[in-house]
Amino acid sequence: MELLDKLTILADAAKYDVACTSCGVNRQAVKGQLGSATSAGICHTFSADGRCVTLLKVLLSNVCSYDCAYCVNRRSNDIPRATFSARELAELTIGFYRRNYIEGLFLSSGILKNPDYTTERMCEAIHILREDYGFRGYIHAKAIPGTSEELLVRLGVLVDRMSLNIEFPSEKSLKLLAPEKAGESALRPMAFVRDGIKANYQDKRLSTVRRTRFVPAGQSTQMIVGASPESDYHILKLSASLYQRLELQRVFFSAYIPINSNPLLPATSEVSLLREHRLYQADWLMRFYEFDVDEIIDEEHPFLDPLIDPKCNWALNHIDQFPVEVNRVPYEMLLRIPGIGVRGAKRVVCARRERSLRFEDLKRLNITLKRAKYFITCNGKFADGVLFDPLSIYRELTRQAKGRRFKGVLDGQLSLFDEKSEPAPTSAFSLPASVLSSPTSVLPAALASASAKPAAQPATLPPAQTPILARRAS
Ligand code: SF4
């Protein structure tokens, strides 16, 4: 098989892996203009120092001895198969690098024979890249649960970032949809990688270079959303535990894409990207805005509202804490105002030292007033036309969502305005009087318990939400 054919197959097979920041677009080269992009093979990520780098995203092989129900590469699928030799992959990567197409490599693989055999092939290819070609660019490798610790160390010193896919938010779903993977939980090797990273940093006898050598950009994981019944609450609880206990850099969410037909998989034609997007927003709140999961979502309303982002949702549920005077409110509270990000909050703090801020000043500081204006005052005054009433604010904030973006919500997904009779997942927003009571707190004692917890099923809407829904539906 020609190298280009292998690349076409293996780059296309890798597109379902989302443990990078974005995937490529398909844009052909045009005479007289510079550059082109192809849908298969190129993705972007952020390196440890914050730079955005372009990666060749590819599988070493799409031959797999496992038969995961949801995966295009499973052994029972009749698809063209290909495997790179270690040198082919190394030469291809270095060739692309020299042509300036890419700055690094994102390498994953189907399971050839067993996890150790596959990891050895991956190590071989990366070793050729690093040693024979002196490649010092970014490499992200997917490790396979079940790989021996010795090989994890070998891989860890060759790559910048390593990820182990947890795949599903619960052990039960993993057993059902990927039974061969279920025997080898990703949590144990993740803990091993975490300890390896710490040990490297803590061994002061090593030179600085060597101290940061083992997985210097940290580890990440990926969860498929929507192929199994776990709620957003369950997914976010697990993510929080992964950040706290296993010190992950990122948890990636991948909206389930139906590729195979299998009675175990949901009948829905597609899972909304909006659900994935809301999970990323909630994840962002936890990582950068010091929100606790239970502030974003609770067990009684286990799904994020598709119509407004989780920060707006929190603000509406805590409307008694608003409006805040932007010239006096502490930095921590500035961070909680919808439309004000970390950078915006810092700019506000700096700017208000000089003088009292007005709404025009906030615009100049790049604050998203479209959302922020409902929750703040400047020198004791609201922005023109703002009516400080939670229901009106909710209507305003959700008005745009009825347009283009909301069309992305497909069958089986949450729709507050849908008149279908099947039960819909609940929104976390309810009228202030009912939500100001503290939410039920069910903290998983350990990762294992979070994984093993039965999925919360969609509940019926609480009475407090009915008036909003009734008005919107009519
Ligand atoms: S082990 Fe990975 S590549 Fe193989 S079938 Fe399962 S998900 Fe697909």
What is the number of structural domains in the chain? 2
Which atom from ligand 1 is nearest to the alpha carbon of 181? 1
- Of 288, 285, 241, 289, which Cα lies nearest the Cα of 297? 285
Q: Where is the domain boundary, 184, 210, 225?
A: 225
Is the C-beta atom of 111 inside 6 A of ligand 1? yes
Would 193 be classed as within a structural domain? yes
Q: Identify any residues that bridge with 374 across adjacent strands, giving them in sequence order.
A: none
- Count of Cβ atoms closer than 10 Å to residue 329 Cβ: 23
Does residue 269 lie in a domain region? no
- Ligand 1: does its nearest atom lie under 6 Å from the Cβ of 173? no
Are 426 and 465 in contact by the 8 Å Cβ rule? The answer is yes
- What is the pLDDT at residue 64? 95
In a domain, 27, yes or no: yes
Quick one: pLDDT at residue 369?
92
Helices 273-288 and 310-317 sit at what angle, rounded to 10 degrees?
A: 70
Tell me the DSSP string of 231-285.
Answer: -HHHHHHHHHHHHHHH--SEEEEEE----S--TTS-S-S---HHHHHHHHHHHHH
Residue 64 CB–ligand 1 contact under 6 Å: yes
**Which residues of the chain carry a pLDDT beneath 70?**
18-53, 183-184, 201-204, 206-212, 267-271, 400-474
With respect to residue 133, please indicate whether it lies within any of the assigned structural domains. yes
71 Cβ closer than 6 Å to some ligand 1 atom: yes
Nearest to 251 by CA among 214, 219, 288: 219
Q: How far is the CA of 223 from the centre of ligand 1 (A)?
A: 13
For 377-401, what is each residue's pLDDT tens digit? Answer: 999 999 998 999 999 999 988 886 6
Give yes or no for a contact between 397 and 312, defined as CB atoms under 8 angstroms apart: yes
Take residue 383 and report the two structure tokens written for it.
Answer: 């922005």
Q: In terms of C-beta distances under 8 Å and separation of at least 24 residues, what long-range contacts does 195-204 make, across chains too?
A: 196/152, 196/153, 196/156, 197/247
Where is the domain boundary, 377, 405, 421? 377
Residues 27 and 166 in one domain: yes
Residues 213 and 334 in one domain: no
Residues 212 and 358 in one domain: no
Q: What is the DSSP letter of 129?
A: I
Query: Could you count the other beta carbons within 10 Å of the beta carbon of residue 71?
Result: 21
113, part of any domain:
yes
The domain containing residue 339 runs over which residues? 323-377
- Specify whether the CB–CB gap between 53 and 161 falls below 8 A: no
Same domain? For 211 and 328 the reply is no
The confidence score (pLDDT) of residue 334 equals: 95
> Whose Cα sits closest to atom 6 in ligand 1?
68
Residue 449 lies in a domain: no
Q: What is the pLDDT of residue 99?
A: 87
- Give me 16's structure tokens: 């379902």
Residue 31 phi/psi, 5-degree rounding, is -60, 135
- CA–centroid distance, residue 177 to ligand 1 (Å): 11
Element (DSSP H or E) covering residue 442: none
Q: Considering 225, 259, 280, which residue would you say is the last residue of a domain?
A: 225
User: Does the Cβ of 43 fall within 6 Å of ligand 1?
Assistant: no
User: Same domain for 196 and 341?
Assistant: no
Strand-pair category, 138-143 with 161-164? parallel
User: At 114, which helix (H) or strand (E)?
Assistant: none
Output the CA 66–ligand 1 centroid distance in Å.
6
CATH for 184:
3.20.20
Q: Which long-range contacts (CB under 8 A, 24 or more apart) does 338-341 make?
A: 338/309, 338/311, 338/312, 338/368, 338/371, 338/372, 338/374, 338/375, 339/367, 339/368, 339/369, 339/370, 339/371, 339/372, 339/373, 339/375, 340/367, 340/368, 340/372
H/E element, 286: helix 273-288
CA of 71 to the centre of ligand 1 (A): 6
pLDDT tens digits, 239-286: 999 999 999 999 999 888 888 877 877 766 555 788 899 999 999 999
Looking at the CA of residue 67, tell me the nearest atom of ligand 1.
5
Which neighbouring-strand residues pair with 161? 140
The neighbouring-strand residues paired with 52 are 46
For atom 3 of ligand 1, the residue with the nearest CA is: 110
Task: Decide if 141 is inside a domain.
Answer: yes
Which residues are CB-contacts of 357 (< 8 A; sequence separation ≥ 6)? 326, 327, 348, 351, 365, 378
